[in-house]
Chain A
């Protein structure tokens, strides 16, 4: 049962990164690809109806994490206190920038909200990547399964670690570029004219940056990971690197051949490859300890009671079925490329 909820959680996080990833990505690149107010409005039109719903996947994953693994929730949320609160601030800034922009028509304020949108999207992408980096690297847990990470110490990913070290910063940069690529691919699929063409060119350039950095991060992860995360005996893990490479190759081809939808979906495949690989590699660890192996949080010692996990089987599939229905309705209602309003 804990295994089931572990992979449910991994799935929800992956869906979150794919969905919110494209609107965060659009935020990262919109300053580069949208040159005038009309094009910027088109970017906001392309993500406007979706971003809030996409973000809910993060909240729903957080809620699922809490009921299934309360100890992990309590320990990691307080341990990563400062970065998490900053993520909340960024989410607030970002939501306001998107929603209030249309209420203030003066160019000065539009510029202000455009900046807020870019700034929060860029930092959020870096934080999300660094968060994954932190979990893969492990944290120094005490015997009560609690810890507190300062924002940075000496930037070395072992011993007395901080939230930011060279490894997690690398993970943050990979996330930033990957989501930028993802967002650009989304804009290629959803927009028209110059905006689409510029997004396509940017996506092709980003592609060349993502490939080497992604491989570098994979190698770095192999060296940085705590001894707890031993992955040699998991044959299924070998599925993921080919998925990543295949997705990226497809995207390279699709961007050149103007197969816009395929380019975006292969970007989704790339995210599934990276996050799925991380989830399988980590299993059954939730939050490994990088000093004392035995302090690590696993799906067994952090799990909720069997009754709680069983009863959630009643409502979770129903809730998900409804959520998917809502998403289907929304995405269907706004399907197709956005038309620039005069």
Chain B
């Protein structure tokens, strides 16, 4: 029963991938004084304006759903995670929302530098918010800095240990890097679309270049060190989760890394596998012969009952991550050899790749949240103990359907509005006279 809050996270993370790209374009525009970056920034600001609106409104429920749907968890854990959630409101939301208003409504009223600061504020706010929410999730994955009172509630005993939870920092790095991959891929994909359709060619090439270089860097960091670091934490603190993620039914030396294969939970084996022998042992312990604990080492009640779903989520995430690295390396090489914009097949690949980072991010969150099951707070409180007992199943179903309907409409509206902006495209290059005026203004900043 992965919590509904996670649906919110997927929507909400759309702010994390938008903000850095806008900031990057605004920075380039100011540093180079080249108006093509300003046009690019204005175009993406329109798209991300829609993105932010959806992200902001769907971000609101999360702050409340701990109390509405998970009241027993909220009551027992509030002494600890109340801190991170309250800090998210005070430090991140105020910053983000204030500067978002300035950014969206203020381009005409503000100086170029002030508008850049507005973009910076939105970026810092949304990424701070990311830290506090990930720190909250990290405490549920790997509880630290608490003591249990006589009445069973958990109370914070070290503020710094809560914020320095190693799980929080690895998970934050991995999550945010995933957001950058998404933003960069969307940018490159749209650029490829414009180049292929021969519309807005100059801006299209710009989007491809910036998107691709960013995506290459982020995809590599996503694998190492952030993905690797996250994986080692899972091994160290949630060995049962690791076994279930890999569908490793039997403890084994030279444990293989499975690339393709279907877990058969009844027979406790993997079918139709394509695997690299010893690779899992090597990746986890840096030794080919190391013994990796399988599911046979753990009590069934301490392992999730959705092994197959967890296995697929994890493998889809890792598989897509590997494909992203391959795509970005090949196309960056082509770009470097100045052949990318002639290689139409590669542009097609780039264009069609845009949905996959969203899928990879969602699969990543599913891996984290299903992997933690059956625990709500790992090792301390089970999911079955945490929900709001006084809210009847019928009422929960009513609101779940309501949210599903609302988010479906929002999703359609979002796609519709984004498609309109895409069809409209960035504004055309300005005339010579305007260009001189622009450079004049830039020189006088």
Contact = CB atoms under 8 A, between A and B. Distances in A.
Interface of A: 45, 48-53, 55-56, 59-64, 66-68, 70-71, 73-79, 81-82, 84-85, 88-89, 91-92, 95-96, 99-100, 103-104, 146-148, 304-305, 307-308, 311-312, 314-316, 319-320, 322-323, 326-327, 329-330, 333-334
Contacts of B90: 60, 63-64, 315-316, 319-320, 323
A67 B66 CA distance: 12
Contacts of B32: none
A64 B109 CA distance: 34
Contact of B79 (A61, A305, A327): A305
Interface in B34-92: 46, 49-50, 52-54, 56-58, 60-61, 63-64, 66-69, 71-72, 74-75, 77-80, 82-83, 85-91
B148 to A, nearest CB: 11
Counting from the closest, the 7 A-B pairs by CB-CB distance are A70-B78, A77-B67, A67-B82, A319-B90, A63-B86, A49-B101, A99-B53
Given A74-B71, A78-B71, A48 B93 contact: no
Contact of B67 (A50, A74, A89, A327): A74
A257 B149 CA distance: 61
Contacts of A312: 83, 86
B100 interface: yes
7 contacts: A49-B101, A49-B106, A60-B89, A67-B83, A76-B67, A92-B61, A327-B98
Nearest to B389: A146
B363 interface: no
A287 to B, nearest CB: 13
Contact of B86 (A64, A82, A89): A64
Contacts, number: 220
B245 interface: no
A74 B410 CA distance: 29
B78 to A, nearest CB: 2
Nearest to A71: B75
B78 A59 contact: no
- Main SS at interface, chain A: helix
A67 B85 contact: yes
A256 to B, nearest CB: 33
B155 interface: yes
Contacts of B385: none
Nearest to B410: A96
Interface string B308-341: 0000000000000000000000000000000000
Contacts of B395: 81-82
Contact of A103 (B114, B121, B159, B417): B417
B74 A85 contact: no
A236 to B, nearest CB: 28
Contacts of B121: 326
Contacts of B75: 70-71, 73-75
